């Protein structure tokens, strides 16, 4: 192997070190492959550095502050509660992000995965060019996994800058804004709106559809909307079209249209969260002969293989939900296939979570989608008002709902709204994936008092033998 004009030979190459890429690299190494991972920015990708992880840290910090201000129902009255937001940001970066990304880098090295810093470009189906600063190197590879993730979409009239920001910018603000306009009330917009609203920011959400977080059922979203309006003072404008934003010094004026009327709202910042675009446009995929489909997504089969047999793609780069846990799952499949194992994407249950107040989580079918699929089902909804742990948390807003077949009570879907829904959904994901029925859950002893007991209560309700309702 000679560095310079000659290509360096590699075995398996993973492009991108996010939750799809680093998991694929480690699994491939565990299976005996010699693996190289290429990352142009920071190890851990968007999720660990400027996405899932730091946003949850900021959300949690907002909860601590908001709860400190509103502890009177417990008989706790705190005085002079202040926020040192610089320290909050330092904690988020140093104690959360850096520790986690450092841990991922350690795991890669422990598994003997070579890390290359630089931006990768395909030259052909077996050759990559990696550019890092002023230097460049050519590599020949046997197999490649594209795990390049996605980036925020910039829309016309809202050019990103100091006052018009994307989610990355929102996570790095130097101070708590007095006012913020959020364009797009989906997962990211609603989560960050809630985080800053808990810190005291006056939030206005402008959403193009009829409800925020449109991928969740209306009765779940209604709980979030009520919390936004009643507890956080958030203004929600639905069926609205954002037209433009004009920056005047340290203020930004957002113009939008709703019900045929043109209106404006002014704030310190305008956060644009209208979706993400796959990072597949500057990879040279066409030189490798890889077919790229609609919206820049790479077409793959059930094994993650593109139309070029030795090139695979996973995560946000391929069709399907843009979820970190989906990317990790697909990364394992691709790594196993390259190792000769008969793996393929065959999951039944893919959970989805939104970290709002209350948290929302869903897996499998809703009652509506089950009926549309031709299943004869019923929905059993147990309110958290009947759960002792929820009462002790003063967090009884929400429910656990099971969607089960009428004939044999097989659980085909579930929805959870309430505290720790992101954790409660795990048991139900296992139930759907494993084809369990409500009796399997009802016969399982659940610890008391716990939020998970609501899952057992919902199962007993589905069986027609409820105890606590």
Nearest to 306 by CA among 152, 147, 151, 150: 147
DSSP state, residue 73: G
Q: How far apart are CA 425 and CA 349, in angstroms?
A: 11
Which of 70, 325, 365, 448 is labelled catalytic?
448
Q: How far apart are CA 9 and CA 33, in angstroms?
A: 14
Cis bond before residue 110 (omega within 30° of 0):
no
Q: How many CB atoms lie within 10 A of CB 70?
A: 14
Assess contact for 154 and 175: CB atoms under 8 A: no
Q: How many CB atoms lie within 10 A of CB 61?
A: 21
Nearest to 46 by CA among 192, 119, 147: 147
| Residue carrying the six token digits 């007993």 | 460
**462, containing H or E segment:** helix 453-462
Query: Helices marked H in 71-179 — which ranges?
Result: 85-91, 98-110, 167-171
How many residues are there in the chain?
469
Torsion angle, alpha carbons of 180, 42, 31, 6, to 10: 140
Q: How far apart are CA 74 and CA 94, in angstroms?
A: 33
Q: In degrees, to the nearest 5, what angle opens at C-alpha 59 toward C-alphas 57 and 65?
A: 105
3-state secondary structure of 153: coil
Cis bond before residue 309 (omega within 30° of 0):
no
Q: How many CB atoms lie within 10 A of CB 429?
A: 20
Task: Show the tokens assigned to 230.
Answer: 């009643």
Query: Helices marked H in 181-300 — which ranges?
Result: 187-198, 218-231, 285-288
Nearest to 186 by CA among 158, 151, 156, 216: 216
Task: Show the tokens assigned to 17.
Answer: 């070190």
446 is catalytic: no
Q: How many CB atoms lie within 10 A of CB 225?
A: 20
Q: How far apart are CA 316 and CA 416, in angstroms?
A: 25
User: Any idea which residues carry the catalytic annotation?
Assistant: 448
């Amino acid at each position: 192997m000679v560095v310079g004009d000659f290509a360096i030979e590699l075995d398996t190459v993973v492009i991108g070190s996010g939750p799809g890429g680093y998991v694929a690299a480690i699994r491939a190494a565990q299976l005996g492959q010699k693996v190289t991972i290429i990352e142009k920015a920071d190890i851990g990708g968007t999720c660990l550095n400027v996405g899932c992880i730091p946003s949850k840290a900021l959300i949690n910090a907002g909860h601590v502050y908001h709860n400190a201000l509103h502890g009177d129902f417990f008989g706790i009255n705190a005085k002079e509660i202040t926020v040192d937001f610089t320290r909050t940001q330092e904690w988020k970066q140093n104690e959360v992000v850096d520790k986690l990304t450092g841990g991922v880098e350690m795991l890669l090295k422990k598994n003997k995965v070579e890390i290359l810093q630089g931006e990768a470009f395909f030259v052909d189906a077996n050759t990559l060019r990696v550019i890092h600063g002023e230097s460049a190197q050519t590599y020949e590879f046997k197999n490649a996994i594209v795990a390049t993730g996605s980036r925020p979409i910039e829309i016309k009239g809202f050019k990103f800058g100091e006052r018009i920001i994307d989610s990355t910018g929102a996570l790095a603000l130097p101070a708590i804004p007095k006012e913020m306009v959020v364009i797009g009330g989906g997962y990211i917009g609603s989560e960050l709106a809630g985080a800053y609203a808990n810190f005291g920011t006056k939030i206005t959400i402008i959403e193009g559809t009829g409800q925020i977080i449109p991928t969740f059922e209306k009765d779940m979203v209604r709980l979030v909307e009520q919390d936004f309006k009643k507890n956080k003072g958030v203004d929600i404008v639905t069926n609205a079209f954002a037209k433009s934003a004009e920056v005047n010094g340290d203020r930004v004026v957002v113009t939008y249209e709703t019900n045929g009327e043109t209106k404006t709202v002014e704030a310190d910042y305008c956060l644009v969260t209208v979706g993400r675009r796959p990072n597949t446009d500057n990879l040279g995929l066409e030189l490798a002969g890889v077919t790229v489909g609609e919206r820049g997504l790479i077409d793959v089969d059930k094994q993650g293989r593109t139309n070029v047999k030795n090139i695979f793609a996973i995560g946000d780069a391929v069709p399907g939900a843009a979820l970190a846990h989906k990317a990790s799952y697909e990364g394992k499949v691709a790594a196993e296939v390259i190792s000769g194992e008969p793996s393929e994407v065959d999951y039944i249950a893919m959970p989805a979570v939104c970290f709002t107040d209350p948290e929302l989580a869903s897996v499998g079918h809703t009652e509506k989608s089950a009926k549309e699929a031709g299943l004869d089902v019923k929905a059993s909804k147990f309110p958290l008002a009947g759960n002792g742990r929820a009462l002790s948390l003063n967090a009884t807003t929400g429910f656990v709902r099971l969607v089960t077949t009428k004939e044999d009570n097989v659980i085909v879907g579930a929805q959870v709204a309430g505290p720790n829904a992101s954790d409660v959904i795990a048991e139900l994901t296992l139930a759907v994936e494993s084809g369990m029925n409500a009796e399997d859950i009802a016969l399982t002893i659940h610890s008391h008092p716990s939020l998970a007991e609501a899952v057992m209560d919902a199962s007993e309700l589905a069986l027609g033998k409820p105890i606590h309702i």
